Amino acid sequence: MTIRDFCHFRNDVSTAMRLWQTSLSILFVLLVFIITSCSTTRYVKPTEFLLNDVDIKADTHVMPMEELVYYLRQTPNSGIFGAYRLQLQIYNMSGPDTSKWVNRILRKAGEPPVIYSDELTRQTAENLRRLYVNKGYPQAEVVTDTTHKRQKINVRYSITAHQPYRIRNIESRVRDDSVRRFFNEDSIKFKLKPGDVFDLDNLELERERIVTYLRNKGFYYFTREYVFVEADTTVGEHQVDLLFRVRPVFQAQEDGTYVPLPHHKRMRIGNVDIYPWFLSSQISYQDTLKCAHYRYIFGRQRKLCPSSIYLRNFVFPGKYYSESATNRTSSLLSSLGVTRYVNVSYREAGDSVLDCSITLTPTRVQSFSVEVEGTNTDGDFGAAMSGTYTHRNVFHGAEQFDFKTRVAYQPMGNLQEALSDRSLEVGGEASLTVPKVLFPFITESMSRRIRAFSQISGSYNFQTTPWYDRTIAGAGFKYVWTTGSLNNERYTIDLMDLSYVYLPRVTNSFRETYLNSNSILRYSYEDHIILALGFSFSRNNRKNALTDFFSYSGSVSTAGNLLSGICSVFGVEKKEGVWQISNIRFSQYVKGEFEYAYNQVVNERMRLVWHGHVGVAYPYGNADVVPFEKRFYAGGANSVRGWSVRSLGPGIYRSQTSRTDFMQSGDIKLDLNLEYRFKIFWLFEGAAFVDGGNIWTIRDYDSQPGGMFKFDKFFSQLAWAYGLGLRLDFDFFLVRLDLGSQLYDPTELRNRRWRRPLRTEDMAFHLAIGYPF
């Protein structure tokens, strides 16, 4: 393609996008018409019924109603928004001749009708009854009612729980002296209390808690089978007494008989052998290094330093066996980027002695990847290429070195006038991650308690555009650590985040248009320094894909306070009202963000996701405005999806320039999102969403009229959008396509703010990787 051809293509791209969006809308309407025209009972025989609806009613709830669904042996065909059964309709579009490939594809993509079964209905009723019996309601009854119309049937399960059995007394009777003394400790006191409903699930949890506690006290061979409970239901009306007992250990004799031992063995740790890098059976040459009471066994090359393993090992010679110490050792060693598998095993090595072997299987130490991507900014298409090199054991202590480089080219303006109207970006970033806290006076015990690593980074980026040349250099140092039983809590402290922005060239036209004396961008396109420190955190409570979960994250950072304090202490004079270092102004601001998402599981195929994001940045002291790269923007694939990225706000401000992204940034951000996600078939997922949000300035800037945040007006200035999405879930990554349409545009005149549906000029198409939140 020649330059002239590309120019014509780029100039016509907006028309092509409008035609494409119109064609997509027409195709969508036709597809909906074809699908809805099919009967849902097309493949239901005259003597059969399509299971249309299942309902559960209970006078006493022993668990959330949405969890009772998993006890059903039959459920209706899955539907979108809980009603429209898309997959059933796709199946019904197929013909009866399965030798034709079209019919096979439609049947594979769809879902066959669920035919009502009397037997499965009886099994479901029995499952629900047994559930209530296990929950302490032995007299529970389940009545099944069915109603049908034409070839569709509805089923209702009505549960009457009656009076439950409650716990009256709880006692323990343990003959084994080695175990009995632990039952008297406060930490093993029963969680079950008199008056609680006699729930067998809670009883099992109590048994598991007792077993876990004893295994952490050295009882390596102790299992749940040794703890049994006697329940006496004759002590009173709907009452039960519980008696916990511990079975003795039996030892096999030579004649095949078993004799009871006087007590359960409490095991101590003997030798601890560590096999880094290779399995011991694969090592032809072995050498042993004694390191802090451990035996470090390696081959001809010691590719992993003993100290990196020592701080993550909690299995100590001479100590009693502990299951939690074993699991923690395995978890921490697995978190090293250089290990693929970790195996902590034990073998009996004498009377009440266990020898431990810790074997590490390595992962690939070095890797290199290249990515090519297309870019689009205001209709200008370009290309970018990036490469990443990773070494996960650069200094033989599980230190990870990463180097990333990126080159991007994008034409700008009118290419027919000059080939020089282009943007070129070249940059690189290097980081070194050390799996320990690099800080003086950190003791060994502190290093063991904190699951943390330190990261040192540096970056350089050069940009040249028709309007300016800009260099951004940066350096950083931070600590990152995780907590929680599932490593689901993450904290980061940025001790230093340094950025230096240098602009050797700015054209007069750009300066006059965007950088006049009243422009908010004036400071952002001057040489400046940002020296910031901050703290961030994130947490989620996700356990599995079938239960609701939430996640939240937040951060707070501040810049310029250290430099401001130094200038004040040493009496540095201000120039033009601000402090400067080597004639370069430094930023001073405080910024905070908080984000929350709640995933509400409707069933295994559908879920609702509620999301909110708020952020505030405030400049003070040595700065009148927050640097452009630290400000907020609205629109795009992860914000209000009816607008393209950086094309919304602030407030009711409407940019009058062709380059909207220069001016559409703010100091305050609010995003509110609701997304309905549902499985379609195979790799495909669908979504319907409603987004609301905007950005605002914290001060009244002349260059952004109408952009200032005001409490009595901000809600009416929220932009709203809706849309549909299609996702391809490949397990290891997800490709997302979202088509958003504007519903309410606060920047328009009052009588034009509510938008008509299916207007192509009000739509935005987004292609992204991963869920938006």
- The per-residue pLDDT for range 306-343, each reduced to its tens digit, is 888 888 899 999 999 999 999 999 988 988 888 888 99
Mean pLDDT across 496-504: 91
Mean pLDDT across 544-572: 90
Pairwise pLDDT comparison (29 vs 498), residue with the higher score: 498
Q: Is the pLDDT of residue 746 over 80?
A: yes
Q: For 94-137, how does the pLDDT look when each residue is reduced to its tens digit (9 = 90+)? A: 888 888 888 888 888 788 999 999 999 999 999 999 999 999 99
List Cβ neighbours of 127 (8 Å cut-off, separation of 6 or more): 71, 72, 73
pLDDT for position 292: 65
pLDDT for position 441: 78
Q: For 503-513, how does the pLDDT look when each residue is reduced to its tens digit (9 = 90+)? A: 888 888 877 77
Query: Taking phi first (over 0 means left), then psi (-120 to 50 degrees means alpha), and beta for anything else, what does residue 93 get?
Result: alpha
Interatomic CA distance for residues 431 and 403, integer angstroms: 7
Count, residues in the chain:
773
Q: Is the pLDDT of residue 7 over 70?
A: no
pLDDT for position 4: 44
Task: Identify whether the C-beta of residue 211 lies closer than 8 Å to the C-beta of residue 227.
Answer: yes
Q: What is the pTM of this model?
A: 0.79
- Alpha helices (H) in 55-117, listed in sequence order: 65-68, 86-92, 101-109
Mean pLDDT across 738-767: 88
SS (H, E, C) 552-563: EEEEEEEECHHH
Mean pLDDT across 593-603: 91
Pairwise pLDDT comparison (452 vs 34), residue with the higher score: 452
Mean pLDDT across 439-458: 83
Q: Is the pLDDT of residue 12 over 60?
A: no
Per-residue buried b or exposed e for 326-343, using 16+ beta carbons within 10 Å of the residue's own CB = bebbbbbbebbbbbeebe
Interatomic CA distance for residues 233 and 245, integer angstroms: 17
Task: Identify whether the C-beta of residue 753 lies closer than 8 Å to the C-beta of residue 633.
Answer: no
pLDDT class of 11 with cuts at 50, 70, 90: very low
Task: Identify whether the C-beta of residue 424 lies closer than 8 Å to the C-beta of residue 408.
Answer: yes
Instruction: Give the number of other CB atoms < 10 A from CB of residue 190.
Output: 16
Tokens of 192: 């079950």
Q: Is the pLDDT of residue 30 over 60?
A: no
Pairwise pLDDT comparison (22 vs 589), residue with the higher score: 589
Q: Which of 236-245, 588-597, 598-607, 709-718 has the lowest mean pLDDT?
A: 598-607
Instruction: Give the number of other CB atoms < 10 A from CB of residue 317.
Output: 15
Pairing of strands 294-298, 268-275: parallel
pLDDT class of 345 with cuts at 50, 70, 90: very high
Query: Taking phi first (over 0 means left), then psi (-120 to 50 degrees means alpha), and beta for anything else, what does residue 63 get?
Result: beta
DSSP letter for 610, please: E
pLDDT class of 418 with cuts at 50, 70, 90: very low
Pairing of strands 589-603, 549-559: antiparallel
pLDDT for position 3: 42
Pairwise pLDDT comparison (251 vs 594), residue with the higher score: 594
Task: Identify whether the C-beta of residue 443 lies closer than 8 Å to the C-beta of residue 450.
Answer: no
Q: Which of 3-17, 237-251, 383-397 has the lowest mean pLDDT?
A: 3-17
Enclosing H/E stretch for 566: helix 561-569
Q: Is the pLDDT of residue 432 over 60?
A: yes
Query: What value does the mean pLDDT of the chain take?
Result: 84
Pairwise pLDDT comparison (667 vs 582), residue with the higher score: 667
pLDDT for position 732: 79
pLDDT for position 420: 53
pLDDT for position 374: 63
pLDDT class of 279 with cuts at 50, 70, 90: very low
pLDDT for position 14: 46
Q: Which of 72-76, 450-454, 602-606 has the lowest mean pLDDT?
A: 602-606
Task: Give the alpha-carbon dihedral of 706, 709, 711, 717, to 10 degrees.
Answer: 50
Q: Is the pLDDT of residue 658 over 70?
A: no
Interatomic CA distance for residues 108 and 124, integer angstroms: 28
DSSP letter for 195, please: T
pLDDT for position 516: 66
pLDDT for position 389: 96
SS (H, E, C) 311-365: CCCCCCCCCECCHHHHHHHHHHHHCCCCEEEEEEEEEECCCCEEEEEEEEEECCC
Q: What residue ranges in 620-698 does DSSP mark as E strands?
A: 668-681, 684-696
Q: Is the pLDDT of residue 269 over 70?
A: yes
Tokens of 365: 């130490």
Mean pLDDT across 436-461: 85
Backbone phi, psi, residue 536, to 5° = -140, 155
pLDDT for position 93: 87
Q: For 193-218, how does the pLDDT look when each residue is reduced to its tens digit (9 = 90+)? A: 999 999 999 999 999 999 999 999 99
pLDDT class of 6 with cuts at 50, 70, 90: very low
pLDDT above 90 covers a percentage of the chain that reads 43
Tokens of 217: 């006290």
Mean pLDDT across 601-621: 90
Mean pLDDT across 479-508: 86
**Residue in the block written with tokens 């501040």:** 558
Q: Is the pLDDT of residue 278 over 70?
A: no
